[in-house]
Amino acid sequence: MEDSTNTLLEVNHLSFRYESELVLDDINMNINHGDFVGLVGPNGSGKSTLVRILLGLHKQYRGEVRWFGTPARHFHQWPKIGYVSQKANRFNAGFPVTVYEVVAMGLYGKKGLLRFLNRKDKQRIHEALEQVDMLGYKKKNMGRLSGGQQQRVFIARALVSDPEVLILDEPTVGVDAASAQSFYERLSYWNREKGITLILVTHDVGAMTKYVTKVACLNQQLHFHGTTREFEESDLAGTYGHDVHIIHHEHDHHAGGA
Amino acid sequence: MVFLEFDFLRYALIIGLMLGVVAPAAGVFVVVRKTPMIADAMSHTALTGIAFHLWLASFWVWLSEWNPLYTGILFTFIVSFIIEYLRRRFKTFQELSIPVVMASAIGLGVVFISLADGFNNDLFNFLFGSILTVNVTDTMVIGIISAVSLLLFLLFYKELLFLAFDEEQADANGIPVQRVNLLFAGIVAVVVASSISILGVLLVSALITLPAAAALRVASNFKSMFLYAIVFGEAAVLAGFFVSYYYDLSSGGTIAVISFAIWTIVVLAEKVAGRIRQRPWEAAKWTDKANQ
């Protein structure tokens, strides 16, 4: 927090109500460039709501969200934030669209209105497909791929605009353990080698803790556990109860931790 | 060709060929967005506008100089924004916005019809379409509408595709979802209302949805879906015109029936092709037999 230039995402006193129900209660969180954050919580804990607020899809919230120092309500560089939705593969399987066309969509926001893709963009689409080992499938119909393959295409779509941060909502649902592990390894590689900041939202605490550098537990309130080691030593039950006060650790700055 | 000796037939054919491009193109988005009923809702709204015009014309005679279709186009354009507003306002039951608007529009339309002279020949032509009533002004108006709509489809192709495929993701990527949706609703409204000229209120959705529905079966990518839809649409319009002329049938009805025939052929052909692909050994037997 001392080093504000390194802060990528800042959430202060964020609360969200859906009708009369309090979904998110006074969330505080800081994510720095290069973090690999695991955001865990049981079903119905408000994970997806939090993600939607971070992405600017919900605007009726209390508190503050800042991306790169700019309040989310005034933030316009959304292509800097890649997003792979939990619902991405619920598209209409009969939609006649190729893998290439789906990945190209990832550039549309960045290009802006009335601009068309040029050769450099097409090159970029190829690179993104290569990054997920799906280049060979670029002319294939999206609906004909397996769930795992579709998911890789959606990740390529998120990567194609060269985002600084990638938010993945439940990316390993329906993926077998071995594939999930190689998927986490790849994420970890992108995080270390390419410096992409990652926010991984999942209800599956197991495998992911090996790869992430920070863990945050959400259940209406956010219990930020700092490093993975501290998370493992702590009592997970805190996430599922209500009487635990917020622990706010900074990964790199132990001096200020509490 | 005897067919083209009559001015009105020439105009009707030109209008038909223009609509054969732009109606199926709009249909592609309508179909992949899974809102095929929008075409019917819009065309019935146009009927309300037409009836309103006929009613006004019953005491402001100067209005009868104008084609009531233009009032219909204006009505539909305005109502398309109401539908979009309702879709946004009632997010959990978005699909209801269409029947709500359609039922109210028909109700209002029928009230206007009873206020005007009741059911007359004009109205009958608008319901089922007529190629006998179009003139050079209509051709120009519909030409401009078609050209502008097609241009807007090309200019906003990438946004419209993204929205149709995954609206939430498009929103997250900073695409101006609401404005693009409004633009799309406006284009569909004027395209549908223009198509009434030759197809009629009840048959418009045939040229909007059937060619696109057939294209959906054969297209391997989104761009090719457009091409197929337009080819099927043009084929239906051309064949429909000649068949209806030589056999003295309703042009709108014939175009709709031929659109359905194209769709049926495509679905059957797909079935056969799928079977051949699934059982290559049987396909081999088939070709052997064919060679004998």
Q: What is the pLDDT of residues B235-269, one digit of tens each?
A: 999 999 999 989 999 889 999 999 999 999 999 99
Chain B residue whose CA is closest to A88: B166
Task: Give the chain B residue whose CA is nearest to the CA of A90.
Answer: B166
pLDDT of B286 reads 43
pLDDT tens-digit series, residues A140-165? 999 999 888 898 999 999 999 999 99
Tokens 């009840």 sit on residue = B202
Highest mean pLDDT among B32-46, B60-74, B230-244 belongs to: B230-244
| Residue B281, pLDDT above cutoff 90 | no
Residue scoring higher pLDDT (A119 or A179): A119
Contacts of A95 in chain B (CB under 8 A): 32, 164-165, 222
Give the pLDDT mean for B188-216: 94
How much is the pLDDT for B6? 79
Pairs of residues, one from chain A and one from chain B, whose beta carbons lie less than 8 Å apart: 90
Residue B289: band (very low, low, confident or very high) from pLDDT cuts 50, 70, 90: very low
Q: How many whole angstroms separate alpha carbon B265 and alpha carbon B278?
A: 20
pLDDT of B63 > 80? The answer is yes
Helix pair angle (B177-199, B204-218), 10° resolution: 120
What pLDDT does A225 receive?
Answer: 64
Q: Which residue of B has its CA nearest to A97?
A: B221
Predicted local distance difference test score (pLDDT) of residue B123: 85
B278 pLDDT band, cuts 50/70/90, is low
**With an 8 Å Cβ cutoff, are A85 and B156 in contact?**
no
CB within 8 Å of chain B, chain A residues 155-214: 157, 161
Residues from chain A contacting residue B159 (CB–CB below 8 Å): 108, 113
Q: What percentage of residues in chain B have a pLDDT greater than 70?
A: 93
pLDDT exceeds cutoff 90 at A51: yes
B159 and A113 within 8 Å at the Cβ level: the answer is: yes
Q: Which residue has the tokens 């050994």?
A: B281
**In the block, residue with structure tokens 């529009």:** B105
CB contacts, 8 Å: A94 with chain B: 216
How many Å apart are CA A85 and CA A184, to the nearest integer? 17
- Looking at the DSSP bridge assignments, the partners of residue A16 are A24
Does residue A95 sit in helix, strand or coil? coil
Between the two ends of chain A, the Cα-to-Cα distance in Å is: 13
Which secondary-structure segment (H or E) carries A81?
strand A81-84
* pLDDT confidence bin for B1, thresholds 50/70/90: low
Distance (Å, rounded) from C-alpha B208 to C-alpha B255? 11
For residue B201, give Cα distances in angstroms to A34, B158, B209, B238. 59, 30, 14, 20
Q: Are residues B158 and A98, on separate chains, in Cβ contact within 8 Å?
A: no
Residue A189 reports pLDDT greater than 70: yes
Asked whether the CA dihedral B149, B154, B159, B165 is positive or negative, the reply is: positive
Mutate which of B160, B173, B225, B270 to disrupt the A interface (most A C-beta within 10 Å)?
A: B173
Q: Hey, what domains does chain A have and what are their CATH numbers?
A: 4-256 (3.40.50.300)
Find the CB nearest B165 among A85, A105, A141.
A105
pLDDT value of residue A170: 86
Structure confidence at residue A235 as a pLDDT band (50, 70, 90): low
Across residues A228-255, what is the average pLDDT? 49
Chain B, 61 to 100: residues with Cβ < 8 Å from chain A are none
CB within 8 Å: B222 and A98: yes
Complex ipTM? 0.87
Mean pLDDT calculated for residue range B66-94: 89
CB atoms A109 and B221 under 8 Å = no
| Tokens encoding A50 | 């939090």
CB pair distance less than 8 Å for A83 and B169: yes
Q: Are A37 and A213 in contact (CB under 8 A)?
A: yes
The class that CATH gives domain B2-205 is mainly alpha
At residue B125 the predicted structure's pLDDT band, cuts being 50, 70 and 90, is confident
pLDDT for A211 equals 87
The verdict on B118 touching A (C-beta cutoff 8 Å) is no
Q: Crossing angle for the helix pair A99-111 and A119-131, nearest 10 degrees?
A: 120
| Among candidates A56, A88, A97 on the partner chain, residue whose Cβ is nearest the Cβ of B169 | A88
- Residue A15, helix vs strand vs coil: strand
Q: What is the mean pLDDT of chain B?
A: 89
Residue of B nearest to A140 (CA): B220
